[in-house]
A and B are shown apart, each in its own frame.
Chain A
Amino acid sequence: MSGKKAFLEGRIKVPYKWYAGETGSRFLSALRDGCELWGTRCPGCGRVYVPAAKNCWECFRPADEWVQVSDTGTVESFTIARRPDEMFGLAPPVVYGLIRLGGAGGSLLHIIGGVNPDDVRVGMQVKAVYAEKRSGRILDIKYFAPLGE
């Protein structure tokens, strides 16, 4: 008795509604309503978290001072993803970057656009380009584009 391998093709689809928290909601609202980027400063280490975080995990205490950060920053690392998963509907190649915004204590993961991928460099200055229709999501920033000369 022999036979072909039998497979069952399936997919798990479960709707979720992830809450951003009070701090995250305020961050996302400022992004949606005013194209503003806000962070929270930890009074312990002085680090500014962007996106805003309610607590500083290094100091294990609340990071409760709100500060606005610049939407311009420096590319600390980047990669040109040749084939991100098709489920995200992105047009490859997609450039991802870790972007250190002015005034932030770490970097923000986002997409770098409006540039030939081969021209992206570490140290490059980039600025947020906002989506026209914003709904309080991280993709209200469409991408970060190089600062014009």
Chain B
Amino acid sequence: MKMEEVAVVGAGQTVFGFDRKETFEELVFEAATAALSDAGGSIGDIDNIVTVSNDFWDGRTISSMSVMSAAGSWNKDISTVEGDGMFGAVYGMMRTLSGSFDATLVVAHVKGSEGRMNLITNGMFDPIYQRPLGIDATISAALQARCYMERTGAGEEDFARVSVKNHGNGLRNPHAHLGMEITIDDVMRSRKISDPLKLYDCSPVSDGAAAIVLSNRRGLKRFRQKPAWIRGAAYCSDSYTLGYRDLADPRALRAAAQKAYRMAGIANPLKELDAAEVYDAYSYMELMWYEGLGLAAEGKGAELLRSGATETGGELPVNPSGGTLSAHPVLVAGLVRLIEAVLQVRGDAGRRQVPGAKRALAHGINGPCGQCHAVMIVEA
């Protein structure tokens, strides 16, 4: 199926960090106005709004209602996604394609610093069989990392190499929370969190917000920014229950990616894409997602990284922004992947620009250990 035409015509993101001085409503306002200004439009040009929020992170029920005004929704149609921002982008795209709306604003926010990550992520598991054990996002990720090591023979140093690459890239991104020049040794010697994961294998908990403006062809005349066309978009989900999903096999990502590639007419993603932004909440994930995205053969994620292909200057730079390892505003991070892909194909990525990038991929995840995956391909 070839896609109807819809484009990202505006993108805005806050600086990500811990303990931002704004409230989450203020962060939403900052990102929304940045996206509108980037689009060269104003709130009056928007027909409908999609917000992304999670009640546990906000410590408020139906917290979507509390950011409506900050997103400029007075007198407009508004709807909410409870999940990663990339799924908000997918929903916004659908609404734009529906024919009912020509221009859509999508905003996502989180103030990770206000809650407690371990408890909040414990809350995503089954309350009867898994939650009482004290499991959280990091503990479940560590179980997945070990499954991946067992299946592929990848080692902790391979994971460390992802951390070195992405934290190094983060230094060139003014929005990043944690850009750092570190060595494999630094990662290996960092504090053990949940073996095999160490401190520098884990993304930081960040505060921040991000927003995009989506438009169909009819809506384009309202904006001045050059459009980044969405050429492929797909998502797919795997089993919820840890233990009844092969944690080392990213089959949901494979399905989503293949569908998005077909829509975009991509046969060899490693060659045909110029940049990719993937959801590396933990270092090892990037290697698994290489395989799921078909950039590396099964079990060869670490090999692809070692070849240098995904480094800055490589055949397909992955996470030139520094990725989620350099800033992890939960819920926002997937939308940031899309924004970074858009900036790349527009040539607006500043010091993290991949020279001449024309086609880029963005990837978001939802649920424990990447239960659900969304993939988008954007083109200048």
Contact = CB atoms under 8 A, between A and B. Distances in A.
Nearest to A78: B146
Interface string B190-208: 0111111100000000000
A148 to B, nearest CB: 24
A77 B127 contact: no
A98 B133 contact: no
A81 B197 CA distance: 9
Interface in A46-85: 49, 51, 57-58, 76-85
Contact of A80 (B59, B134, B194, B243): B194
A82 B127 contact: no
A106 B244 contact: yes
A78 to B, nearest CB: 7
Interface in B132-172: 132-136, 138-139, 142-147, 150
Interface string A88-100: 1010001011100
Contacts of B144: 77
B241 interface: yes
Interface in B174-192: 191-192
B247 interface: yes
Interface stretch (B114-122, B317-325, B358-366): B114-122
Interface in A107-136: 107-111, 122
Report the interface size class on chain B: 35 or more
Report the interface size class on chain A: 35 or more
B136 A106 contact: no
A57 B143 contact: no
Contacts, number: 101
Contact of A98 (B129, B134, B194, B242): B242
Interface in B76-134: 116, 118-119, 122, 127-130, 132-134
Given A79-B139, A96-B143, A138 B243 contact: no
A10 interface: yes
B128 A18 contact: yes
Contacts of B118: 84-85
A24 B127 CA distance: 12
B133 A110 contact: yes
B252 to A, nearest CB: 13
B133 A20 contact: no
A49 B147 contact: no
25 contacts: A10-B59, A12-B59, A18-B127, A20-B128, A49-B244, A77-B144, A77-B147, A78-B143, A79-B195, A79-B197, A81-B138, A81-B139, A81-B193, A82-B192, A82-B195, A84-B118, A84-B139, A88-B134, A98-B243, A98-B247, A106-B243, A107-B243, A110-B133, A122-B146, A138-B132
Given A79-B139, A137-B128, A138-B130, 7 more contacts: A18-B128, A77-B143, A77-B247, A81-B139, A83-B193, A97-B143, A107-B243
